[in-house]
């Protein structure tokens, strides 16, 4: 009998072949350190290097009885301090209660799988984040994807399924992570009420940045208490880690009993609670930084638009530059890197096919000069393109 290839030989060969395939489609990702002016950070308020926050963490580590999570919150990982922090965060988010998860990804997965079952229905914005999509998939519920922010199609779907008995949830981001636009959450809430559905809003890119004192879009629009749940992540503007699912006290109890990503995961290190508390305290006071950040983003978006670039419908600190082809987006990113900007191309499947882009996420310390230099560098790149190369234009 001919000798079979060992598992290891075959396995490594298959992995290499798949990677080569990704490479051929310009879709192979790789890890690289950031250099130069950072245009792809979610540290919107630059709290990750704030001296007061660093001190809060140092103090918390020094005073901590232990610095490990030690077990799931349902076993040894619970402490009164977590409960206290959750109460404080619920007040920030405008809800009755909150439950802390180890990451936003885990929060969305845990929330959706705990709430939805096979006979239920989820209405999902076409541009929702992968963590929401994965949560819906894993829940087994039927999914109805409506085009991005399209209330007519959403209403059509809700009407069509109005007489079904299963639970219906509408799921949307508030600030969309790849577009930088904002969901019409008040109108979505009205539709939900009309057709007996609930609403989940993922505030990941709004937390700390949008709404009064950075409390998010649901607080801004006065609908936080009507939501089935809001998800606020701590790894972006709050420069920490983890995420809160915010809603009623009953939702919190339900999640403690059913959210598998909460139940079967080790608690975060206790000092992280102090980092989050410190960050929320600072973020609440940063109205000036928030206003400056939005003014810079508006200037960049309007400068790019008047230069003929497609920046979609950005109205926040996230400004996409939609280029179209993967190859062109990669070339633009490379050009900017050579000019001293840390910019990354975002390609399908993260964004819809044919809409490869650069995603500029601005932080409050970036200067007007740097933004002007960015616009000039992009113009230089476009001028050097062969005339046959298609770049999306408005």
Ligand X SMILES: Cc1ncc(COP(=O)(O)O)c(C=O)c1O
Span from 6-14, 102-110, 179-187, 330-338 in contact with ligand X (CB under 6 A): 102-110
- Of residues 60, 144, 204, 300, which one binds ligand X by CB under 6 A? 204
Within positions 131 to 150, which residues make up the interface with ligand X, using CB under 6 A?
Answer: 131
Residue 316: other Cβ atoms inside 10 A: 25
Q: Cβ distance 358 to 343 under 8 Å?
A: yes
- 104 sits near ligand X (criterion: CB under 6 A): yes
Q: State the Rg of the chain over Cα.
A: 22
Instruction: Work out whether 233 is an interface residue with ligand X (CB under 6 A).
Output: yes
Give the neighbor-by-neighbor strand order of the sheet with 142-146.
97-101, 243-247, 229-233, 198-202, 168-173, 121-125, 142-146
Taking CB under 6 A as the criterion, the residue among 202, 221, 274, 370 binding ligand X is: 202
Q: How far apart are the first and last CA of the chain?
A: 65
Region of 51-59, 70-78, 101-109, 379-387 interacting with ligand X (CB under 6 A): 101-109
Select 195 or 360, whichever has its Cβ closest to ligand X: 360
C-alpha 275 chain-centroid distance? 20
Strands (E), the chain: 37-38, 97-101, 121-125, 142-146, 168-173, 198-202, 229-233, 243-247, 318-324, 341-342, 345-346, 356-361
Residue nearest to ligand X (CB): 104
CB of 254 to ligand X, least distance (A): 20
Does 95 participate in binding ligand X (rule CB under 6 A)? no
Stretch that binds ligand X, among 63-71, 104-112, 285-293, 313-321 (CB under 6 A): 104-112
According to DSSP, the β-strands at 243-247 and 318-324 are: unpaired
Do the beta carbons of residue 204 and residue 74 sit within 8 Å?
no
Q: Are 124 and 150 in contact (CB under 8 A)?
A: no
Helix and strand numbers (H, E) in the chain are: 14, 12
# chain residues binding ligand X, by CB under 6 A: 13
Residues 6+ apart with CB under 8 A from 222: none
Tell me whether residue 262 or residue 309 sits nearer to ligand X (CB atom). 262
- Which residues belong to the active site? 42, 129, 173, 177, 202, 205, 236
List the one residue from 105, 195, 244, 271 that touches ligand X (CB under 6 A): 105
Binding positions for ligand X, 236-255, rule CB under 6 A: 243
CB of 133 to ligand X, least distance (A): 10
Q: In terms of Cα–Cα distance, which of 89, 360, 351, 117 is closest to 231?
A: 89
Scanning 77-85, 99-107, 159-167, 385-393 for contacts with ligand X by CB under 6 A, the matching segment is 99-107
Q: Which is nearer to ligand X, 102 or 198 (CB)?
A: 102
Within residues 164-193, the interface with ligand X by CB under 6 A covers 173, 177
Q: Which of residues 16-75 bind ligand X (CB under 6 A)?
A: none
Q: Given candidates 135, 216, 235, 278, which one binds ligand X under the rule CB under 6 A?
A: 235
Which residue stretch of 103-111, 116-124, 142-150, 360-368 sits at the interface with ligand X (rule: CB under 6 A)?
103-111
Strands 168-173 and 198-202: parallel
CB of 135 closer than 8 Å to CB of 120: no
Contact set for ligand X, span 271-310 (CB under 6 A): none
Question: Could you give the CA distance from residue 211 to residue 209 in angstroms, rounded to a whole number?
Answer: 7
Nearer to ligand X, 53 or 243 (CB): 243
Nearer to ligand X, 233 or 326 (CB): 233
Task: Select from 50, 49, 66, 52 the least CA-distant residue to 271.
Answer: 66
| Nearest distance, CB of residue 220 and ligand X, angstroms | 17
Site residues for ligand X, 106-125, by CB under 6 A, read 108
> In the complex, which residues of this chain contact ligand X (CB under 6 A)?
103-105, 108, 129, 131, 173, 177, 202, 204, 233, 235, 243
């Amino acid at each position: 009998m001919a000798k079979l290839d060992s598992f290891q030989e075959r396995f490594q060969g298959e992995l290499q072949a798949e990677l080569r395939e990704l490479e051929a489609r310009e879709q192979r990702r790789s890890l690289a350190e950031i250099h130069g002016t950072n245009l792809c950070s979610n540290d919107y308020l630059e709290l990750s290097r704030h001296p007061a926050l660093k001190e809060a963490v140092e103090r918390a580590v020094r005073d901590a009885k232990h610095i490990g999570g030690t077990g799931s919150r349902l076993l040894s990982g619970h402490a009164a301090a977590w409960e206290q922090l959750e109460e404080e965060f619920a007040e920030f988010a405008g809800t009755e209660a909150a439950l802390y998860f180890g990451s936003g990804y885990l929060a969305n997965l845990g929330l959706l799988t705990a709430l939805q079952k096979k006979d239920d229905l989820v209405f999902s914005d076409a541009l929702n984040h992968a963590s929401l999509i994965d949560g819906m998939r894993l829940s087994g519920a039927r999914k109805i994807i409506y085009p991005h922010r399209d209330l007519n199609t959403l209403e059509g779907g809700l009407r069509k399924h109005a007489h079904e008995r299963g639970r219906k949830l509408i799921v949307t981001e508030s600030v969309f992570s790849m577009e930088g636009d904002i969901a019409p959450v008040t109108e979505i809430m009205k539709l939900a009420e009309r057709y007996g559905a609930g609403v989940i809003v993922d505030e990941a890119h709004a937390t700390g940045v949008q709404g009064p004192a950075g409390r998010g879009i649901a607080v801004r629009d006065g609908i936080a208490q009507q939501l089935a749940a809001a998800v606020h992540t701590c790894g972006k503007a709050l420069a920490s880690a983890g995420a809160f699912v915010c809603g009623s006290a009953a939702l919190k109890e339900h999640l403690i009993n059913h959210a598998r990503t909460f139940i079967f995961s080790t608690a975060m290190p206790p000092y992280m609670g102090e980092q989050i508390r410190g960050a929320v305290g600072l973020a609440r006071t940063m109205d000036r930084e928030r206003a400056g950040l939005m003014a810079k983003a508006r200037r960049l978006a309007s400068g790019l638009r008047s230069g003929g670039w497609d920046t979609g419908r950005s109205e926040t600190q996230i400004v996409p530059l939609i280029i179209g082809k993967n190859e062109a987006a990669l070339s633009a990113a490379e050009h900017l890197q050579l000019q001293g900007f840390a910019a990354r191309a975002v390609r399908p499947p993260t964004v819809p096919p044919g809409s490869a882009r650069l995603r500029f996420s601005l932080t409050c310390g970036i200067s007007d000069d740097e933004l002007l230099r960015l616009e000039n560098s992009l113009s230089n790149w476009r001028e050097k393109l062969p005339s046959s190369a298609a770049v999306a234009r408005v």
